Structure 1
Amino acid sequence: SKLDAEKFVGRVNLKECFQSANLIHSSDPDFQILEDGSVYTTNAVLSSEERSFSILLSNTENQEEKKILVLLQHQTKVLKKRHSKEKVLRRAKRRWAPIPCSMQENSLGPFPLFLQQIQSDTAQNYTIFYSIRGPGVDREPKNLFYVERDTGNLFCTRPVDREEYESFELIAFATTPDGYTPELPLPLVIRIEDENDNYPIFTEKTYVFTISENCRVGSTVGQVCATDKDEPDTMHTRLKYSIIEQLPAYPTLFSMHPTTGVITTSSSQLDRELIDKYQLKIKVQDMDGQYFGLQTTSICIINIDDVNDNLPTFTRTSYVTSVEENTVDVEILRVTVEDKDLMNTANWRANYTILKGNENENFKIVTDPKTNEGILCVVKPLNYEERKQVDLQIVVVNEAPYSKEGSLRSTMSTATVTVNVKNQDEGPECSPRVQTIQTKENVPVGTEIQGYKAYDPETRSSSGIRYKKLSDPKEWVRINENTGSITIFRNLDREAEMIRGGIYNITILASDKDGRSCTGTLGIILQDVNDNGPSIPKHTVVICKTVLSPSADIVAIDPDEPINGPPFDFRLENIPDSDIERTWRLTKINDTAARLFYEKDLPFGTYRISVRVADRHGRSLITPLKVLLCDCVTENDCTLRTDARTGGGDVRLGKWAILAILLGIALLFCILFTLVCGGTGAAKQPKVFPDDLAQQNLIVSNTEAPGDDKICSTDGFTTHTVGSSAQGVCGTMGSGVKNGGQESIEMVKGGHQTLESCRGTGHHHTLDSCRGGHVEVDTCRYTYSEWHNFTQPRLGEKVQLCNQDDKHKHAQDYVLTYNYEGKGSVAGSIGCCSERQEEDGLEFLDHLEPKFRTLAEACIKR
């Protein structure tokens, strides 16, 4: 009825039930199952009744499961003694527990070496056989350990290396001869005790470090490292580093930290220019550096890095050289320096500078990258007559900055260079290169004046120099070959073309007897005389008659100097048998402009007048003017209309003006096309225009011709007949031309006449051909809403008729093709059936030229 914890209960044969099971567990947590089928209690169990639980066997690979039912019953009779191993006795004391066990690595034996004895207290009641499993027994390294079956003595068969196997975890079993295990398996750990049998080893055979010269004491050079395979955190692996030897040996410059292996400088006397490399022999020893510890050595090479601690110095402090005058881009001297720093580095390469004596920038000094020499060159020609000797002071420094503290200028090396300038037989010198003389523009032909002068730079004389004219754009002068003076050959004109600022330039060539030459420019400053009267550059003036104060401004100019120019006097030049003075009037605005008025009412047209303008000295000039009297707002408006009507002048239209013309033409074609289609549809069902249609088709145009006669019918529509003189209040519809003759277009109330009467046989006309007169805007027009309400339904009917013919096919002239006018047109698409539903998009009409304002007004909904 009571079972203690970890009590052996019994054993079941699992292999007969499920041989391939790899997962075994009990359904009752109070019992556990071992792999051999032994059943043990996990906790103390008290039970007065029978108890049952299941052993679950499963194979996780194929998901197969089996179950064994175990029934525990109370013992009702005493078992007979069959064998000593079958005796059921209660244990009083247990000795089956893990026993510490270890062995020394690399043991010398004798083998087999006894380690310890394992024993179970169940041996008092049973015959117990002992066995072990695990690494070193049935797993690699196999057969290293074994146990005597009857005594439990554990033996080792050969030496073991701890660096290969630190320990062995075995499992010991105690079983009865019939296979029962009265004890739980015993974990048995055999630890291999370390022996100092491994030398410490440096991670590298040779260490290479670099340190800058002149570094401070304690600067880190580098760190070395060693490893030991013996057991960590023991004396066998406690390492100590040291420096055995330094080459060169003197002075001692480096030290090593015994624990970390960090190498540092112990002196600041590192000088690359003396010794650029040191070699250290280093040692590492275990057992914390004790004499019996194992040790290893290695080599450490320390390279000394260069710094700019040495300034370049000139090998000589003074130099003397020479150069011919007027020579350029020539090498005249090479200077050398010494530098102890590392060659071909920034610490060694020299930079030369001319400190004094090169104020005129005649010299330049550069460095030869191969030899580090300074090359002194002449880059600007010298003049012997100005300076016969030049003294230069040059200085040299390195590319890299100087590393030592203190004033660099006080330690820089300098040298002096004396440059002697050699004299050279030179040709004439044109100095200054540009010379000027003054003369009046009306000087008589043949007058001789001073010319260009060149001289010999050595003698400062002009004798023996010959002059020749190279350039004389207008051939106005001639030059004296010996003296350089010039003679006026043609009349000089200050106001002529190519004269800028009143100066006329000619080019002179001066040469000596040896053919050496120079070139100069002679500028003739032309003094102004009053030889030009003021004139009016604009010969056509426009007066817009419709403005508040109709007038035109006239501006005169005078090519002479201001002293011979304004103020101007404007006067009308009277023509015999004319009333110009009574018709026109001039008033002065300022010194250069006047305003033209007309005294009496004049009809629109072109008038000719002449204006005399005189300068302050009375020199005058008559300018004929053409005056256009127009019905306009701006001068440009009148000019465009006049040119278009007369066919004269160049009419330049902008892109919006062209677009407006195309829009107007397309609109007229659409109206005509709609009316024509309406006439075609009349074959089936006659369509006529109602009486109230004609007045809304008004086209406003300006004209300067006398207006046509007008007739206003009683119903408000105009009936116009060529030659009639009836009075009316409405504008004419115009006259049409048919077959070379004249015909009138009459719209009679209730009639059936359409625009077909405007078209001659075999000819095609637009509405322009049916319009011949002046149409005025009057009170007889209908409102826009009445016109819109009438035309919309009728236009839809006519378009539908145009869409199909008698056979319900598209009419031949229905599809209208338009040329592509470019991308982004603000006017949108244009077609005979198009209708703008809103006012937006017509802002471009505000920027059209004045000529198209009437067309723009006709296109905007009122």
Structure 2
Amino acid sequence: MAQTATFFFLYSVFFTVLSLPVECCLPPSLQSEVPGELPAGYTVSRVNLDQCGTEGLKVTSSDPDFAVQTDGTVITTCFTVVPGDGRRFLILVQKEDGETSEVEVTLTRRVKVVPSNKVLKRYKRRWSPPPFSIKENQKPPFPKDIEVIASDSSQNYSVRYTISGPGVRERPYDVFSIDEYTGMLRVHKTLDREEFNNITFVANVYNRYSNKPTDLSLPVTVIVEDENDNAPEFSGLMQYTVMEHCNTGTLVGVVRATDKDDPSTPHAKIKYRLGSGTELFLINEKNGSITARTTTLDRERQDKYLVPVEIRDMEGHPSGLSQTGTATITLGDINDNPPTFKQPSYTAEVEENKANVLILRIPVEDKDLVNTDNWRTRFVITKGNETGNFRIDVDPKTNEGLLYVVKPLDYEETKSVELQLTAQNVAKLEGTTASWSSIPVTLNVKDVDEGPEFRPGNLYLLVKENVANGTVIGTYTATDPETKKSNGMRYYKRSDPASWINVVESTGQLKVANTIDRESSFVNNSMYNITVEAVDESKKTGTGTVIIQIEDINDNMPEIKSKELVLCEGSLESVRIEASDQDNPPFSAPFFYELGKGHDGKWKLEDIKDTSAVLKPAKDLPTGVYSVPVMVKDLQGFGKEQTVTVQICHCSNGACLAKRTSTSLGVGGVLAILMSTLLLLLLCLLFAFVCTTKKDKIHMDDTGDGMLLKSNTEGPGDEVNSSIPILPMTAVDGSLKGSIFEKQESNLGKMGAGNMNTMNVPPGFPNNMYQKSSSNMVVTGTLGGYSTGNYRSIQEEAEFLEFASRSTLHTWMTNALYLDKKLMYFATEDSGRYADDIPLRYGYEGRGSLAGSVGCCSELGADEGLGFLDSLGPKFKTLAEICMEK
């Protein structure tokens, strides 16, 4: 009996453990001490879910300020304040089968200990025991007595009482007062606990006569007791979504509600209840979580439910305050409805030989949510399209199937086509046992009267080039697609770019009309195409293409590409000859090279390759142009002799340099230069005389004044600091005496012997015509500041004396004087008077000057160095006679 009792006891314990709800794996409550202010993300506590398993668990919080992570950690979702009396909320745990449980979490505010440097003293309690409490929402009249605050010091002193702080002179103002003699505490206003749940002020007691404190200050706390004066309120949007056909117990959403009353009292204990819709949904009366009660939720039958929810405090007691709201539950769509065809079958007609033509529009119906993958249809041709003649697309707006013919059909071959179409969705089916639906589609091919048809459509023929005209290379005929006969056909040539082929109209024979050349520009890769047209008795036409493969023959000789070659002297010793042949192998390369029969033995061929050979001299050859005969033959020995021109020359960058041409200045050129120089000199003198002299006639006197010439002084003279002025020539007739010439002579006389040395003057010249300046320059024949240009330096004078005697120098100076005087005389005459006596420019008369070249380096002749003047021609004879007159 004892064993039987023990067995039943153990069995009952085991059954009890198995039948325990989910709460057995959770603690009934959690308590945690936290600071008064909690930042977002602060870890409050942790619920141990290890014993409950994590699969299918849904853990939520009834307070939106707190969230529960998957491992059970409770954290704050925002900045949260914990009041002095703490904070409470529920953690809701739901298993996969819909069974729920809850854990109550209590947060207490951590007391902050403020360190003090004062020495703590122990005092005996001498005040009557506080705290006090009053009810919120008290009705008038006021004031109302609360309780007496008394101090034991009143037994020894005559005292008075005061209070200060919140509720007196601080917010909330003027709520409390105290009778200073009796210590009775009174309240003067109605208080709202939701605004001030307690008020702490300070009470003091003083000696009534000395006004000194008789006891320590006493903090007094007045607790405001809660009344159920606040109905619960909904928080957050009450809009939820759950998929249709979901499992029973699936969480739809959690209704959030709050109550401003004291959470530690039943005034804030809320009970949740659904007003209607209880046959489809359930709500947890403690935490407000809504779950599905059935698996029959169908979006296609009703896609949205409006469920009334009632919340009542006092844990749902009829005396509690309540409020009603509406929860909007929307059903999400799943692909539980396959598309269906509106008709069981379709029949259509299509003409033969048509392509890319829309044949049929096939509508379907789908109850799923429009414009989603659950609604969009994808059509598949599951049968009858093995040849690829058809294509089916989808109209994105109407969701219809669009059936096209992409390859033309032939009525003579196929009179009708049976297709099978299947309609599917983009998304897979779920939540249903239905499958994709299919329908048959019959397409009848319509016969069309067609034109002739060539068989095959492209005819290939192999023809040798250069075949004789009139040769028949083939026959190309067409037939009627319906009768399969060629009776009454006429054939014409539609295209023949090179006009090589003729078509016999009655038979379709193809004959050569002109020479077929494989190397022609009309031939591409040895292929040549013509188009033939056939016309039947009903004037319908058909075309076909003849592709002629041209067979090559050896009808082209190798040709040397460049027959003019350059061989640079001293650098390259050979040149390469390159040839080409338009024929294909074996009628072209490799080529055979040899020198022609008429070659002179000066050249030889080496390094013969496929298409080229090296030509080089057989011996050293001078520069020049050489013609070399070269025989070039192809692989079949077909070729000819060709001549190559080789130029041997001096090169620059591979090109021959141009020959240098010798240039020399002829007699005419020298004469032109001399005449130009003299003309320029005469023009300068003319301008000078016109500007500085009068038009008085000047007589040419042979015994006039001389010129300034360099003296023969051998020793250096005194250095002159200033420049010696240019001395003008004295006029022959003395008409200029007493003018500027005399002033210049007087100035020269004032310079003294120390500044001017007298030169050795030739006979007949005055001494003042030969002076030496500090610049060692001799001024000759100066007139009015204009010089005739006879200047010579000391160095030049010394060189001059090396090849001329003193008498020659004297004669040269004398003639220069006469020439200057003559020019002065010309300057005084009208332009018509001396126009014939000055050098003029003449055109070339066909021969050079007999005088030759005259320059600075001309050698002085034996005739006192002036013999060259005799050869200057008749135009200078007068000038020469004047110069030689002395």
Residue 621 of structure 2 corresponds to 602
Cα distance change, pair 593–382 in 1 and its aligned pair in 2 (3 A): same
Contact 2:158–2:209 (CA<8 Å) still a contact in 1?
no
- The answer to whether residue 619 in structure 2 is matched with residue 619 in structure 1 is no
Correspondence for 2:228 among 196, 219, 225: 196
- The answer to whether residue 580 in structure 2 is matched with residue 557 in structure 1 is yes
Residue 672 of structure 1 corresponds to none
3-state DSSP class of the match of 1:475?
A: coil
1:370-392 deviation per Cα after TM superposition (whole angstroms, max 9, x unaligned)? 44332222233212123222221
Deviation at 1:291, TM superposition (A): 4.7
Residue 215 of structure 1 corresponds to 246
Deviation at 1:213, TM superposition (A): 0.9
Letter of the structure 1 residue corresponding to residue 523 of structure 2: I
- The answer to whether residue 407 in structure 2 is matched with residue 380 in structure 1 is yes
1:275-320 deviation per Cα after TM superposition (whole angstroms, max 9, x unaligned)? 4333333232323334543333322221211110122233444332
In the alignment, the residues of structure 2 paired with residue 306 and residue 143 of structure 1 have an alpha-carbon distance, to the nearest angstrom, of: 63
Deviation at 1:264, TM superposition (A): 1.9
Correspondence for 1:227 among 251, 258, 270: 258
1:762-819 deviation per Cα after TM superposition (whole angstroms, max 9, x unaligned)? xxxxxxxxxxxxxxxxxxxxxxxxxxxxxxxxxxxxxxxxxxxxxxxxxxxxxxxxxx
Deviation at 1:607, TM superposition (A): 0.8
Deviation at 1:427, TM superposition (A): 1.6
Deviation at 1:222, TM superposition (A): 0.9
Correspondence for 2:491 among 467, 470, 475: 467
Cα distance change, pair 451–155 in 1 and its aligned pair in 2 (3 A): same
Residue 164 of structure 2 corresponds to 133
In the alignment, the residues of structure 2 paired with residue 297 and residue 44 of structure 1 have an alpha-carbon distance, to the nearest angstrom, of: 57
1:22-53 deviation per Cα after TM superposition (whole angstroms, max 9, x unaligned)? xxxxxxxxxxxxxxxxxxxx9899xxxxxxxx
Contact 1:98–1:188 (CA<8 Å) still a contact in 2?
no
- The answer to whether residue 359 in structure 2 is matched with residue 335 in structure 1 is no
* 1:159-558 superposed matches below 5 A: 159-178=190-209, 180-183=211-214, 184-203=216-235, 207-246=238-277, 252-404=279-431, 411-450=435-474, 452-542=476-566, 546=570, 550-558=573-581
Cα distance change, pair 43–463 in 1 and its aligned pair in 2 (3 A): closer
In the alignment, the residues of structure 2 paired with residue 260 and residue 325 of structure 1 have an alpha-carbon distance, to the nearest angstrom, of: 73
In the alignment, the residues of structure 2 paired with residue 507 and residue 644 of structure 1 have an alpha-carbon distance, to the nearest angstrom, of: 59
Residue 777 of structure 1 corresponds to none
In the alignment, the residues of structure 2 paired with residue 130 and residue 415 of structure 1 have an alpha-carbon distance, to the nearest angstrom, of: 102
- Whichever of the two has the greater Rg, that structure is 2
3-state DSSP class of the match of 2:580?
A: coil
Cα distance change, pair 544–98 in 1 and its aligned pair in 2 (3 A): farther
Contact 2:566–2:655 (CA<8 Å) still a contact in 1?
no
Residue 656 of structure 2 corresponds to 642
Letter of the structure 1 residue corresponding to residue 152 of structure 2: D
Residue 118 of structure 1 corresponds to 149
Deviation at 1:185, TM superposition (A): 3.9
Stretch of structure 1 that moved more, 552-561 or 317-326:
552-561
Contact 1:429–1:457 (CA<8 Å) still a contact in 2?
yes
1:531-562 deviation per Cα after TM superposition (whole angstroms, max 9, x unaligned)? 332322231345567579x4444343332342
In the alignment, the residues of structure 2 paired with residue 152 and residue 588 of structure 1 have an alpha-carbon distance, to the nearest angstrom, of: 139
Letter of the structure 1 residue corresponding to residue 222 of structure 2: I
* 1:611-760 superposed matches below 5 A: 611-629=630-648, 640-642=654-656
RMSD value, Cα: 3.7
In the alignment, the residues of structure 2 paired with residue 685 and residue 255 of structure 1 have an alpha-carbon distance, to the nearest angstrom, of: 139
Contact 1:240–1:286 (CA<8 Å) still a contact in 2?
yes
Contact 2:147–2:184 (CA<8 Å) still a contact in 1?
yes
In the alignment, the residues of structure 2 paired with residue 458 and residue 129 of structure 1 have an alpha-carbon distance, to the nearest angstrom, of: 134
Contact 1:508–1:522 (CA<8 Å) still a contact in 2?
yes
Contact 1:437–1:451 (CA<8 Å) still a contact in 2?
no
3-state DSSP class of the match of 1:582?
A: coil
3-state DSSP class of the match of 2:358?
A: strand
Contact 2:340–2:364 (CA<8 Å) still a contact in 1?
yes
Letter of the structure 2 residue corresponding to residue 494 of structure 1: R
In the alignment, the residues of structure 2 paired with residue 404 and residue 560 of structure 1 have an alpha-carbon distance, to the nearest angstrom, of: 77
In the alignment, the residues of structure 2 paired with residue 124 and residue 645 of structure 1 have an alpha-carbon distance, to the nearest angstrom, of: 149
In the alignment, the residues of structure 2 paired with residue 534 and residue 447 of structure 1 have an alpha-carbon distance, to the nearest angstrom, of: 29
Residue 695 of structure 2 corresponds to none
Paired-residue identity, % = 42
Contact 2:568–2:656 (CA<8 Å) still a contact in 1?
no
Contact 2:360–2:402 (CA<8 Å) still a contact in 1?
yes
* 1:752-791 superposed matches below 5 A: none
Contact 1:209–1:303 (CA<8 Å) still a contact in 2?
yes
Deviation at 1:226, TM superposition (A): 1.3
* 1:35-114 superposed matches below 5 A: 95-96=126-127, 99-107=130-138, 112-114=143-145
In the alignment, the residues of structure 1 paired with residue 648 and residue 655 of structure 2 have an alpha-carbon distance, to the nearest angstrom, of: 12
Deviation at 1:619, TM superposition (A): 3.2
In the alignment, the residues of structure 2 paired with residue 197 and residue 434 of structure 1 have an alpha-carbon distance, to the nearest angstrom, of: 101
1:450-473 deviation per Cα after TM superposition (whole angstroms, max 9, x unaligned)? 354333322333343433334333
Letter of the structure 2 residue corresponding to residue 454 of structure 1: A
In the alignment, the residues of structure 2 paired with residue 43 and residue 270 of structure 1 have an alpha-carbon distance, to the nearest angstrom, of: 74
Deviation at 1:180, TM superposition (A): 1.0
In the alignment, the residues of structure 1 paired with residue 794 and residue 519 of structure 2 have an alpha-carbon distance, to the nearest angstrom, of: 81
The answer for unaligned runs of 5 or more in structure 1 is 1-41, 46-91, 632-636, 648-682, 687-740, 747-862
Cα distance change, pair 125–433 in 1 and its aligned pair in 2 (3 A): same
3-state DSSP class of the match of 1:209?
A: strand
Letter of the structure 2 residue corresponding to residue 199 of structure 1: A
Residue 17 of structure 1 corresponds to none
With the length of structure 1 as denominator, give the TM-score of the two structures.
0.57
3-state DSSP class of the match of 2:402?
A: strand
In the alignment, the residues of structure 2 paired with residue 177 and residue 214 of structure 1 have an alpha-carbon distance, to the nearest angstrom, of: 84
Contact 1:534–1:556 (CA<8 Å) still a contact in 2?
yes
Residue 825 of structure 1 corresponds to none
Residue 711 of structure 2 corresponds to none
Letter of the structure 2 residue corresponding to residue 332 of structure 1: I
Letter of the structure 2 residue corresponding to residue 375 of structure 1: L
Cα distance change, pair 615–193 in 1 and its aligned pair in 2 (3 A): closer
In the alignment, the residues of structure 1 paired with residue 301 and residue 246 of structure 2 have an alpha-carbon distance, to the nearest angstrom, of: 15
Contact 1:505–1:522 (CA<8 Å) still a contact in 2?
yes
3-state DSSP class of the match of 2:222?
A: strand
In the alignment, the residues of structure 1 paired with residue 463 and residue 415 of structure 2 have an alpha-carbon distance, to the nearest angstrom, of: 41
3-state DSSP class of the match of 1:96?
A: coil
Residue 151 of structure 1 corresponds to 182
Letter of the structure 1 residue corresponding to residue 328 of structure 2: I
Letter of the structure 1 residue corresponding to residue 281 of structure 2: F
Deviation at 1:124, TM superposition (A): 3.3
Letter of the structure 1 residue corresponding to residue 134 of structure 2: M
The answer for unaligned runs of 5 or more in structure 2 is 1-117, 662-791, 796-851, 858-886
3-state DSSP class of the match of 1:122?
A: helix
1:35-92 deviation per Cα after TM superposition (whole angstroms, max 9, x unaligned)? xxxxxxx9899xxxxxxxxxxxxxxxxxxxxxxxxxxxxxxxxxxxxxxxxxxxxxx9
Contact 2:313–2:321 (CA<8 Å) still a contact in 1?
yes
Contact 1:535–1:622 (CA<8 Å) still a contact in 2?
no
In the alignment, the residues of structure 2 paired with residue 297 and residue 570 of structure 1 have an alpha-carbon distance, to the nearest angstrom, of: 115
Cα distance change, pair 583–400 in 1 and its aligned pair in 2 (3 A): same
- The answer to whether residue 601 in structure 2 is matched with residue 582 in structure 1 is yes
In the alignment, the residues of structure 2 paired with residue 565 and residue 543 of structure 1 have an alpha-carbon distance, to the nearest angstrom, of: 28
